[in-house]
């Protein structure tokens, strides 16, 4: 019986740790070759349901012969300016700070038709957010609305771990 109690307690601690340390690897659009001008509407609908945090990694799968992904400033995102990206030919990126990350098509005509995306990274719950440095090349302040917020998988694991822990404590 003591072994069962200890096992339940250890298991609950493991689930709780997932709530605070689980970084995600996400394929943008959720499928192969989703970065193309025909999928721009679908991509924007897809991002609306996503919630990212610092440390998550985004991966793009695109037809490299017909398009590319650029990380740009908020201003260049708005105007589809492709000549001075923060990063060019992005295939994967780790969201290394809280705030918005702006991505556009490397083909200006595709960006003008809507092939662009904003991913907003939330700070980890246990770390207080620090203001982003004011630079001309870094991401700008987040928009006033955050449509990308949604339930996080790590939080559900944390709640499950907490519930298992309560049951374990009741058995002790």
Which pLDDT tens digit goes with each residue over 101-149? 999 999 999 999 999 999 999 997 765 555 555 444 444 444 444 444 4
Overall domain count for the chain: 1
Output the pLDDT for position 137. 44
Tell whether 167 is covered by a domain.
no
Output the pLDDT for position 1. 60
Beta-carbon contacts of 2 under 8 Å, excluding residues fewer than 6 positions away, are none
Tell whether 126 is covered by a domain.
yes
Interval 15-42 mean pLDDT: 71
Of the chain, the percentage scoring pLDDT greater than 70 comes to 59
Is residue 14 within 8 A of residue 87, CB to CB? The reply is no
Closest to 107 (Cα-Cα) out of 64, 147, 142 = 64
Alpha-carbon span 87 to 99, nearest angstrom: 17
Tell whether 168 is covered by a domain.
no
- What is the chain's alpha carbon radius of gyration, rounded to the nearest angstrom? 20
Residue 157 host element (H or E):
helix 153-171
Higher pLDDT, 96 or 169: 96
Output the pLDDT for position 42. 85
Alpha-carbon span 87 to 171, nearest angstrom: 54
Find the domain containing 55 and state its range.
23-150
Tell whether 12 is covered by a domain.
no
What's the distance, Cα to Cα, between the start and end of the chain in Å? Answer: 9
Higher pLDDT, 50 or 167: 50
Tell whether 160 is covered by a domain.
no
Alpha-carbon span 48 to 46, nearest angstrom: 5
CATH number at residue 117: 2.60.40.420
Tell whether 162 is covered by a domain.
no
């Amino acid at each position: 019986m003591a072994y069962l109690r200890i096992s339940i307690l250890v298991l609950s601690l493991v689930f709780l740790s997932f709530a605070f340390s689980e970084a995600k690897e996400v394929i943008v659009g959720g499928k192969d070759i989703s970065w193309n001008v025909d999928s721009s509407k679908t991509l924007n609908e897809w991002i609306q349901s996503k919630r990212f945090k610092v440390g998550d990694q985004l991966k793009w799968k695109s037809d490299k012969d017909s398009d590319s992904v650029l990380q740009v400033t908020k201003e260049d995102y708005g105007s589809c300016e492709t000549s001075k990206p923060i990063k060019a030919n992005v295939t994967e990126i780790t969201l290394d700070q809280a705030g918005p990350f702006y991505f556009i098509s490397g083909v200006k005509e595709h960006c003008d038709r809507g092939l662009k995306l904003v991913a907003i990274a939330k700070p980890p719950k246990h770390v207080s957010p620090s203001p982003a440095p004011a630079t001309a090349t870094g991401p700008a302040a987040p928009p006033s609305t955050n449509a990308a917020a949604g339930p996080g998988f790590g939080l559900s694991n944390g709640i499950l771990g907490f519930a298992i822990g309560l049951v374990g404590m009741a058995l002790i």
